[in-house]
Structures are given as C-alpha cells and as structure tokens.
A = this chain, B = another copy of it.
C-alpha cells in the first residue's frame, strides 16, 4: 500500500511516498481502509527542523486524521465490524490503510461523504477542546476566533454559534471571505489588518470574553486589549510567530486567563479523552445539520505536494483532504 512519510532533507523535511505492507491489527486495534485523510498546517510547520544534519531528525509517517471503512478488527474489539464507516484522529493516516486503537473511532454521521468526514476530526476536536474545555465559553460570552477561514476557524465559528454564544467574532485579513464567515455563523467579522482594530471591535460588539487564537505574534497585544474582565485567551496556533509582547498589568487588571493548548504534549489517554468529549457534545449536531465540515478541496493521495502548496497560498476556506 502507499504511505506518506516525512523524511529529513538538506533544507528541512520532505514528503516521500513509500510502498509498505498493509499492517495487521493487533489486540484492540482496527485496520481502516482510508477514504479521506486531512492535510494540516502542522505538517509544514515542523519541516524546517527536519534537516539531515540534525541528529534528532527521524523519518515518520504523516497524517493525523482519517475517514474510511473498517477493513479488519483485532482480537477483543467490540462495537465495530468490517465495512463500518468510521473517522478519527490517528497517526500514519495519509495512506491507503491506517491502524488505530478501537477507542479512537467515531461513526461517520449520516449524510456525509468520505471527504467531508475526513474534514471533521482534527479541526472540530481542536476547536471543541479550545472553546468548551479551555475557554469554557457559554451563552453569555462573546467569542473572538482568529484566522476564521482556517480549518479550525471554520469549525470554531460553527461551534460557538451552536453553543449559543452571544456574539461570534471572526477575524480575517481577506475581506472577500467575510460573507462566507457570516454564513458559517459569525455575527461580526473584524479585519485585523486595519490600525486600531481592537477599539473598533469593542466599539461594535463590546469587549470579548473568549479568544480562540491561531495567529499570536503581532496580533497578540491587540487581542488582549479587546478582552473583557475575566476573559479567557486560548493559544491554539501561532501563524504569525510565537514571540509576542505582553502587558502583565493588563492581564492582572482584567483578571485574564491565558491558556496554552496542544496535542503535542498530551498523553494518548488525554488525546483520546478530547475526541470522546467532542463526540459526546457535538457529533449529534452533524446529523441534524447544525454543524457541517467545511471542505475546501480534495486532492488525490499521491498529490500531497500540490495540497501543501495550495495550503501555503492561504486562499482556502476550510479543510484540504487527500483521497486514496
């Protein structure tokens, strides 16, 4: 079968399509025939460190989410059988087949295609963890979501709307995307490329109670300025860089909580718990149509390089997936 790997190269990691045997599921494992595998920005962010002259750089199979059909189950697996339509977060998912612990599987909600299902796990689990578990946003809250047109952004806007949050503010630097963000549930779209955007935003909708941030960097100080007393800021991504300046007196005066989240340092049990909380809270909402995966474009499995190049162009709205 085909399986994408990221391998060290002279100028950073490169993707390599390998031909490997189809694995067999061990006890508690399920073999899934992949029908769609998400492409994620993290794959690109990790590349620069993967230089051949770095002794810690090791090749690894890529892809951390999938949708597909159960092809075989290992000993002791109950609840899943061959042919079931499943999706989940995993590893080595950009491939014809992937192995996963049975507990990590979720049933594909009725009415969704394979590529739509492949666009769900990462961004919706990440956004749910940030909005519900970390920021604890509720109906009384105005929620600000940066990089609103990203995969996590489009999921977060919908989740905030679904939770009934008082206001759902999405930021973008592409005003052309504003209408699409409103269609997803944003009640206000802020153009953060404009000077004085935090004051303009708080004039329009008041200070915000929760920020789900994928940008960081130069945007960070303005995000804190836009926050209400006891606001919760969650750092999910850092597309504009990790280094920022902080006004600790503002943090104290507003009694803010700043919360860092990532899956990189979570144990397998912690990661699994995130998926399970998402499934319990939100999976039914896909069946009713209240939530929907936002798929921008699907590429054939062997065109990962094109998918990455397309992602770097920043023109997409929602997810990019590979289809074996």
Which A residues fall within an 8 A CB radius of B?
216-217, 220, 229, 235-236, 238, 242-262, 264-266
Contacts and interface: CB of A to CB of B under 8 A. Distances in A.
Given A254-B260, A255-B265, A246 B247 contact: no
Contacts of A216: 248
A238 B246 contact: no
Contact of A229 (B245, B259, B265): B265
Contacts of A253: 260, 262, 264-265
A48 to B, nearest CB: 13
Contact of A235 (B217, B235, B248, B264): B248
A245 B244 contact: yes
Nearest to A233: B258
Which 5 A-B pairs rank lowest in CB-CB distance, beginning with the nearest?
Answer: A242-B249, A251-B260, A252-B260, A258-B258, A246-B246
Contacts of A220: 246, 248
Nearest to A238: B248
A246 B252 CA distance: 15
Nearest to A231: B260
A216 B251 CA distance: 11
A235 B246 CA distance: 12
A96 to B, nearest CB: 32
A26 to B, nearest CB: 29
B246 A245 contact: yes
Nearest to A258: B258
Contacts of A251: 235, 258, 260
A255 B262 contact: yes
Given A246-B246, A255-B266, 6 more contacts: A235-B252, A245-B245, A253-B260, A253-B264, A254-B265, A255-B261
A248 B244 contact: yes
A216 B252 CA distance: 11
A260 B255 contact: yes
Contacts of A257: 257-260
Contacts of A258: 251, 256-259
Nearest to A229: B265
A255 B133 CA distance: 13
Contacts of A229: 265
Contacts of A266: 255
A245 B243 contact: yes
A241 to B, nearest CB: 8
A243 to B, nearest CB: 6
29 contacts: A220-B246, A229-B265, A235-B248, A235-B251, A235-B252, A238-B248, A238-B249, A243-B248, A244-B245, A244-B248, A245-B245, A245-B246, A246-B246, A248-B260, A250-B260, A251-B258, A251-B260, A253-B260, A255-B259, A255-B261, A255-B262, A255-B265, A256-B258, A256-B260, A257-B257, A257-B258, A257-B259, A257-B260, A258-B258
Considering residues A247, A249, A261, which has the most beta carbons from chain B within 10 angstroms of its beta carbon?
Answer: A249
Nearest to A216: B248
